[in-house]
Amino acid sequence: MLRTFILALSTLSLLVATPVLAQVYRAAAVVNDNAISTLDVEQRTKLAILSAGGKDTPEARNDMRPAVLRQLIDERLQMQEAKRQNITISKEAIDEGVETIAQRNKLTVDQLEAQLKAADVALQTLRNQVEASLAWQEVLLQTVVPTIEVSQEEIDAEVQRVISSGGSDQVRLVEIFIPRDAAGDEERSRALVQHIVSELQGGASFQQLASEFSQAPTAATGGDRGWVLQDQLPPELQTAVRQMQPGQLAGPLSTPTGFYIIGLVDRAKVAGGGTGRIRLSQILFDVPPGTRASDVVDTAREQTADIKSCAQADRLATSIGSPGSGPMGDVNLTDLPADLRARLAGQPVGVPTAPLERGDVVAVLVVCAREGGGDGIDRERIAQQLRRERIELRGQRLLRDLRRNANIDIRM
């Protein structure tokens, strides 16, 4: 039936050749021989205006079209990459994605479809967008996520930075990110982010605009970045967040990778300074004259990798026999040097630290027990944030490379 309808339209266009059909069905852009029609652009433009809660006027459409076309081009590239990797998204997964959007707007799927129909937007337009988003998430899951590593040393460095600064706020943010791409797209990026700011000032939904336009992985959750340590944010965002109160928006904020619009949902204080008492054990590895400390560090890491308690650490210390190895008793964190306090304040009980170079020895410390205090810093949250930032950055690079290597012919 659908095929018959399409054939009928084709015959009508040949016989009548109306300007309207010619306008609707011409190519707005071609991406690696895959056409995006002006109908695609118009449908997505209407969807974007509906999602933002704006009025569907000729002026609004003119403002939105360049950004929508760019988004459609990116989605075609993402779908082509997914196809290259033999990734397909099931109908059930798309159904779930549409249902999630409906729930986010406190609607049933039938009510959402009715709203789309009233705005002259086909449900398939939304389904295509959901499919592209899910396909790209799967591409990142298969190609980017397995390459992301966060070392214990990097986590320790973040903890030390927070403690040495006297503590850091945890902030819950929502975000919209528009990447800064090639010079030819710079002005379009600026124009898009300014338009989004205008829509937000007019009362548009942050969640919907994030879902529609943000190029951060958080677009899938309406821009919700969750709780992060303020000191882990890019410097440009840190400066803005420090001056914000919950409920406020800031942006556009220019960073080396693009433009952010952020909203502060909530703020909570993380204690700094590392207080309380811990019971310590240490294992010392001598660095003989003429030996590189890095070689001893590798040996120390290998020999302590399987330690899960202070009893194991003490047995290894005895077998190695280096003076000073073994139980250290109870120690006040505030009595330790800042670098050690940073490492040990959030160190899990029974888990060895990374090897520490200390002059002519390499030390591995194990916290045997903890009593009061602590820094309140969630080390797992730090690790997750570092991973998320790296996934986001590599995802942006992958999409940028796809754009650079693609044949893109824009015709509108």
Q: In the CATH hierarchy, which fold is given to the domain comprising 24-145?
A: Triger factor/SurA peptide-binding fold (1.10.4030)
pLDDT of res. 182 = 45
pTM (predicted TM-score):
0.62
pLDDT of res. 338 = 64
Domains 24-145 and 275-374 equal at CATH topology level:
no
3-state secondary structure 77-136: HHHHHHHHCCCCCCHHHHHHHHHHHHHHCCCCHHHHHHHHHHCCCCHHHHHHHHHHHHHH
pLDDT of res. 156 = 77
- Contact criterion met (CB below 8 Å) for 295 and 301: no
- pLDDT tens-place string over residues 134-188: 999 899 999 998 988 888 888 877 777 666 655 567 788 899 988 876 434 577 7
- Contact criterion met (CB below 8 Å) for 315 and 366: no
Separation CA 243–CA 168 (nearest Å): 14
Instruction: Please list the ranges in the chain whose pLDDT falls under 50.
Output: 1-23, 182-184, 271-273, 373
pLDDT of res. 43 = 93
Residue ranges of the domains in the chain? Answer: 24-145, 167-272+379-405, 275-374
pLDDT of res. 319 = 86
Q: Is the domain 275-374 a CATH 3.10.50.40 member?
A: yes
pLDDT of res. 269 = 63
Q: CA dist 143 to 137, 202, 241, 398, Å?
A: 10, 39, 33, 10
Instruction: Give the CATH number of domain 167-272+379-405; options: 3.30.70.960, 3.40.50.720, 3.40.1190.20, 3.10.50.40.
Output: 3.10.50.40
